[in-house]
Amino acid sequence: MVKLKLNLSRYFPYFYIFPVYAFIGIIIIYPIVFLIALSFFDVSLNLRYTFVGLSNFERLFRDRKFINTFKPAAIFVGGSVAGQNGFGFLLSLLLNRKVKGKEFLRALFLIPWLISDLILGYMFLILFDFHGAINDLLKYFGFQPVNWLMSTDLAIWIVTLANVWKSSCIVMAMHSSGLQSIPEELYDAAYVDGASLWQRFRFVTLPLMKPFIALSLIITTVATFNYFGVIYVITYGGPLDSTTVPTFYMYRWAFEWGQLGYASAIGVSVMIINVILTAVYIKILLR
Amino acid sequence: MEGKKEGRRDYLKTVGAAIAGAIIGGALGWVAKPAAPGVTETVTVTKTVTAKPTPVKGTFVMSYPNGYAGHYIHLKEAFDILRITNPELRPEYVGKTWGEYYEWLLTVFAAGEPPDMPMIDCIWIPKFVELGYLEPLDEYIAEWPDWENWIPTFKEGMIWDGHVYGIWLNTDARVWWYWKEFFPEGFPSTLEDIIDKAKRLKAEGKPQIATWVGAAIYPFMCIYCSICPEDRLKSPGWGLFEIKDGKLYPIFDDEYGVRSMEYILEMKKAGIEFIDIPGFSASYDKFFEKKISALFAGTWMSGQALARGYKYEDWEKYFGAAPWPPPRGGRVHAGIPGGWVAVIPKNAKMPKDLIWEYIRILVDESVVGKVFAELGYLPTRRDAFDIVVEKSKDPFMDDYLSYFKNVYIRPEITEWERVSKAIDDAQWSVILERKKPDEAIKDAAKEVAEILGW
């Protein structure tokens, strides 16, 4: 009797952590496994599956339209990550100083993040439309209006700008918490040693902010690579696919053209790229 | 005015609409209606109510694109009649914007939770049929004499693999709406004249002419249908394809396709503005704010004017409506009409007989005549035209109907979304001067051939 009790008690910890593993399994592991499995099937929205092996991937690597999505993706991700982190870090530095009402300003700067993509998209549509406010301003100052959203070169920068405007504040919030964790004494010691403002930033702030910067770079890169909300509303991938990023291309295959298998193959490719990007960041920034 | 009547007569002749006394009788108690056009107020919607031995309880879910309130009014009008015999039936109206509606429908159908009676865009039917989402209506149709009143184009458009999958509720013609103050001489009647007018507007610094670019219709198929041989348009390939080895093969990259693209380039160079899909909704405001002087959209512009407070009686003072002007020597047509279709989902929760009864009320000519006359839609059944014309206060209604002299519907193929995107890309390549017209259309045809499995 005693022996049985002891044996059972060995397994108690597993019972305690089982809900967490079950949750992770259902919410994270199952969808990933399902996505990977789906990429080996020809399946449309009627959910009839035909096993096709690697042919979705073969087709993907021959699909010029898919390959072409990486050019706008590079601008969208590169521009957004640089803009969000640069602007967000700058804002956090400014708000880390003794500024009157800085808590209010922090809350104010978070508003863009709270705005839905639909409203944000329409705001930028109204601003950058050929008959929109920006062109009205240009005309007022005697310049020719620009067809921002109908230009294959400019449209991607407009959606990037919209994304920077939306998400810089969340980077600001992440960096603010990092800045607040740096002990004031370190700045005092550097000041006593004669360090200039730039030197204090370069040798105190930056090294101690490195883990926060790395984390925010990883998060913004992966988040932007997976995101196409503003693209959907502002340009719908156009003109001429110049703003079609891989995830939006995946979305169209899944929900517009109804080919879930092929869309899943795109999804798996995007996931692999995200893993590689994250690994590179970790390797470079946290070594 | 005489010309308008003439146009209407032409239409009626074309569609064989002189149906005297549409018979809607039958075992379920439908009654014969007086011969059009002598329809009077005595035709009331309540006459169409059928006796149901066992009233149905529960929530009856209907979905519709809510770009304009008209669909909701139509659904509600019919539901109020259905509820007379089913007093414990509760309505749930689900409205979605056009863009999100398609994806929402696909998602709820795939999840096995479709609305009981969704309105579906006519171009989505092949996809929904292929996915096995829709109930064939053959058995209901077989016992429904009204089916004979449908204009053949709108009847045939619902047949897939020999089965009927939907009832085409309403349609539209694609038209230019224009501000008369910028077109005192009237709207140009040829494409060459439009191009000249655009140049003049540009030189005078006045608001420009604008057209949507999308679904391959705007403006490519409008031009293409005006100039390619008519027998081709009536062929099973809808003018764009020929049947080769039992499969569709693109032929739109010939001289007519190239010429259509050349016209698009000329239009662009003349200053005409081209509007991409995300800008469609905003283009109504631009038109009514006079930022553009003419907009090529559809007959639903009537609804947009009403929604902005323009009264019918003032319209002719401000606006005009005109069909797509063909190139010199080309033919006038109704554009490529669209419209919304009533269907019965296979997984509908409500009894299918009840849904069918609701659909019959929706398309009863007295309901259609009443609702469309008020809201500016065009009917798809011949016997409703006269009622709509009789009751409509829309000053352009006669014009709209006259454009139906030549009606062509767009291809009903499952791959249409990808095919139309390839053609749209060709148009944008020309508009943005990335490709020459012949190169653009040939590339599109090559891509379409691949999409179609060549």
pLDDT confidence of B281, banded at 50, 70, 90? confident
Instruction: Give domain status of residue A256, yes or no.
Output: no
- Confirm or reject contact between B417 and chain A (CB < 8 A): yes
- Confirm or reject contact between A240 and chain B (CB < 8 A): yes
Mean pLDDT of chain A: 91
Same domain as A143, residue A28: no
Question: Which parts of B292-415 fold into alpha helices (H)?
Answer: 301-307, 312-318, 352-363, 365-375, 382-391, 397-402
CB atoms B417 and A256 under 8 Å: yes
In three-state secondary structure terms, A194 is: coil
Judge if pTM exceeds 0.90. Answer: no
pLDDT computed for residue B53 by the predictor: 55
Instruction: Give domain status of residue A257, yes or no.
Output: no
pLDDT computed for residue A45 by the predictor: 80
Q: Which residue of B has its CA nearest to A241?
A: B425
- Confirm or reject contact between A64 and chain B (CB < 8 A): no
Comparing A260-269, B170-179, B250-259, B285-294, which segment has the lowest mean pLDDT?
A: B170-179
Q: What average pLDDT score do residues A78-86 get?
A: 96
Q: Which residue of A has its CA nearest to B134?
A: A46
Same domain as A120, residue A5: no
Query: Tokens in use for B189?
Result: 């009647």
Rounded CA-CA distance A45/B161 in Å is 20
CA distance A282 to chain B (A): 38
Give the DSSP H/E element, type plus range, for residue B100: helix B98-110
Q: At what angle do helices B255-270 and B416-431 cross, to 10 degrees?
A: 50
Q: What average pLDDT score do residues B17-42 get?
A: 31
- Of B437, B394, B309, nearest to B4 by C-alpha is B394
Q: What average pLDDT score do residues A137-156 get?
A: 94
CB atoms B279 and A125 under 8 Å: yes
Query: Residue B328: phi, psi to the nearest 5?
Result: -55, 130
Rounded CA-CA distance A109/A106 in Å is 5
Instruction: Give domain status of residue A169, yes or no.
Output: yes
Q: What average pLDDT score do residues B303-311 get?
A: 87
Same domain as A169, residue A104: yes
**ipTM entry:** 0.83
Q: What average pLDDT score do residues B137-161 get?
A: 88
Query: B47 pLDDT exceeds 50?
Result: no
CB atoms A149 and B276 under 8 Å: yes
CB atoms A131 and B286 under 8 Å: yes
Same domain as A169, residue A235: yes
Same domain as A131, residue A8: no
Q: CATH code at A191? A: 1.10.3720.10
| Sign of the CA dihedral with A120 first, then A122, A128, and A133 last | negative
Burial class (CB in 10 A: 0-12, 13-18, 19+), B143: exposed
pLDDT computed for residue B376 by the predictor: 67
Q: What average pLDDT score do residues A92-118 get?
A: 87
Same domain as A106, residue A9: no
Query: B418 pLDDT exceeds 50?
Result: yes
CB atoms B103 and A256 under 8 Å: yes
pLDDT computed for residue B405 by the predictor: 65
Which one of B106, B282, B418 has the shortest CB-CB distance to A125?
A: B282
Mean pLDDT of chain B: 83
Query: Residue A153: phi, psi to the nearest 5?
Result: -90, -35
pLDDT computed for residue B16 by the predictor: 39
- Confirm or reject contact between B425 and chain A (CB < 8 A): yes
Q: Could you tell me the domains of chain B?
A: 2-171+339-405 (3.40.190.10), 175-336+415-451 (3.40.190.10)
pLDDT confidence of B68, banded at 50, 70, 90? low
Candidates A38, A130, A153, A250, partner chain B, best to mutate (most B CBs within 10 A):
A130
Instruction: Give domain status of residue A27, yes or no.
Output: yes
CB atoms A149 and B417 under 8 Å: no
In three-state secondary structure terms, B293 is: strand
Q: What is the pLDDT of residues B329-384, one digit of tens each?
A: 888 776 677 889 999 999 999 999 999 999 999 999 888 877 877 776 788 888 88
Query: B414 pLDDT exceeds 90?
Result: no
pLDDT confidence of A206, banded at 50, 70, 90? very high
Burial class (CB in 10 A: 0-12, 13-18, 19+), B420: buried
CA distance B336 to chain A (A): 21
Tally the domains of chain A.
Answer: 2
Q: Which residue of A has its CA nearest to B422?
A: A240
Which one of B103, B278, B417 has the shortest CB-CB distance to A125?
A: B278
Query: A209 pLDDT exceeds 90?
Result: yes
pLDDT computed for residue A4 by the predictor: 56
The most confident of the ranges A250-259, B150-159, B326-335 is: A250-259
Chain A contacts of B109, Cβ < 8 Å? Answer: 45
- Confirm or reject contact between B452 and chain A (CB < 8 A): no
- Confirm or reject contact between B127 and chain A (CB < 8 A): yes
Same domain as A224, residue A89: yes
Query: Max Cα separation, chain A?
Result: 94
Instruction: Give domain status of residue A254, yes or no.
Output: no
pLDDT computed for residue B334 by the predictor: 67
Q: What average pLDDT score do residues A150-175 get?
A: 95
pLDDT confidence of A132, banded at 50, 70, 90? very high
DSSP β-ladder status, B208-212 and B273-275: parallel
- Confirm or reject contact between A126 and chain B (CB < 8 A): yes
Q: What average pLDDT score do residues B170-186 get?
A: 91
Query: Tokens in use for A203?
Result: 């040798």
Same domain as A222, residue A80: yes
Q: What is the pLDDT of residues A106-130, one digit of tens each?
A: 888 889 999 999 899 999 999 999 9
Give me the total of CB pairs closer than 8 Å, taking one residue from chain A and one from chain B: 62
- Of B309, B313, B337, B311, nearest to B324 by C-alpha is B337
Range of the domain at A16: 1-38
Query: Residue A98: phi, psi to the nearest 5?
Result: -80, 85
Q: What is the pLDDT of residues B189-248, one digit of tens each?
A: 999 999 999 999 999 999 999 999 988 888 999 999 899 988 888 777 788 999 888 889
pLDDT computed for residue A102 by the predictor: 82
Candidates A63, A64, A131, A139, partner chain B, best to mutate (most B CBs within 10 A):
A131
String of b and e for B32-63 (b: at least 16 CB within 10 Å)? ebeebeebeeebebeebbbebeeebeeebbbb
Instruction: Give domain status of residue A46, yes or no.
Output: no
Same domain as A95, residue A223: yes
CA distance A236 to chain B (A): 6
